[in-house]
A and B are shown apart, each in its own frame.
Chain A
Amino acid sequence: DAGITQSPRHKVTETGTPVTLRCHQTENHRYMYWYRQDPGHGLRLIHYSYGVKDTDKGEVSDGYSVSRSKTEDFLLTLESATSSQTSVYFCAIRGGSQNYEQYFGPGTRLTVT
C-alpha cells in the first residue's frame, strides 16, 4: 500500500463544466503522475510532476491542466469537460528504488454526459 487516495471515486458531470480530481499521498514521494484508462488503449500519461510547482505534459495532455502546491497533493483539472474525457483516471507515484516502478491509486471513474 503506497498510501495513495483519490477523490472523488465516481463523478458524473455535464459537458462544459469544470472538474477537478484530487490525488493525495502520505509518503512524501517526489514524482506523481496522472493517467487515463480507456478500452483498447491501456493507460496513457496525461501529466506528471517532479516536485512542488514542477509539472510537465504527457502523451494526452490536451484539455487537462494540473497543479501541485504541496508535495502530498496533485490535482487534475478538466477546464471544460467533454464526452471524450469520459474515462477512468489513475494517479500514481514513483517508488523510491532505482527501478522506477510506479504505484497506483484506486482510480476515479468520470462520466461526462
Chain B
Amino acid sequence: GDSVTQMEGPVTLSEEAFLTINCTYTATGYPSLFWYVQYPGEGLQLLLKATKADDKGSNKGFEATYRKETTSFHLEKGSVQVSDSAVYFCALNLGGGADGLTFGKGTHLIIQP
C-alpha cells in the first residue's frame, strides 16, 4: 500500500541554521504531496503542497520539490527561527475518490536560540 517515510527526530538546530527534513514515499499512482506543521497543543496546518513532478511548493520560507525519480519531497528552509519549532508531517493523497491522506510519523523540530 501507499506509505510515507520521514526522519522522526527530534531534530535540534540552532537559530539561523539550514533545515532539511527528508520525506520519501511509496505510491501506486501519481500522488499529490503535502507538508503539514503542528505547533504545540494545536491542530495541523497545511504548510505547502505539490501536485506533479518537478513542482515546487513554498510558504513562509519553506520549500519542497516533488521529485518523481527519487520519490521524494524533502522540506527545506534556509534560516530557521525559534518560532519554527514544531512537528512536521509529510503526507500524500492519490486524489481519487474520497480517500484520506497517508501521513508519515512526523518529525519533531527543535530550534535553539
Q: Which positions in A face B, CB cutoff 8 Å?
A: 31, 33, 35, 40-45, 48-50, 56, 58, 90, 92, 94, 98-107
Interface residues of B in 35-59 (CB under 8 A from A): 36, 42-46, 49, 51
Which of B43, B95, B103 is the one whose CB lies under 8 Å from A44? B103
**Residues in A neighbouring B103, C-beta threshold 8 A:** 42-44
Q: Is the interface of B mostly helix, strand, loop or mixed?
A: loop
Interface residues of B in 89-103 (CB under 8 A from A): 89, 93, 95, 97-101, 103
Tally of chain B residues near chain A (CB < 8 A):
23
B45 to chain A, nearest CB (A): 8
**Most chain A Cβ neighbours within 10 Å, of B46, B49, B51, B100:** B100
Q: Which positions in B face A, CB cutoff 8 Å?
A: 8, 32, 34, 36, 42-46, 49, 51, 89, 93, 95, 97-101, 103-106
Interchain Cβ contacts under 8 Å between A and B, 21 examples: A31-B98, A40-B8, A41-B105, A42-B103, A42-B104, A42-B105, A43-B44, A43-B101, A45-B101, A48-B98, A56-B98, A58-B100, A90-B43, A94-B98, A100-B32, A100-B93, A101-B32, A101-B46, A102-B46, A102-B101, A103-B46
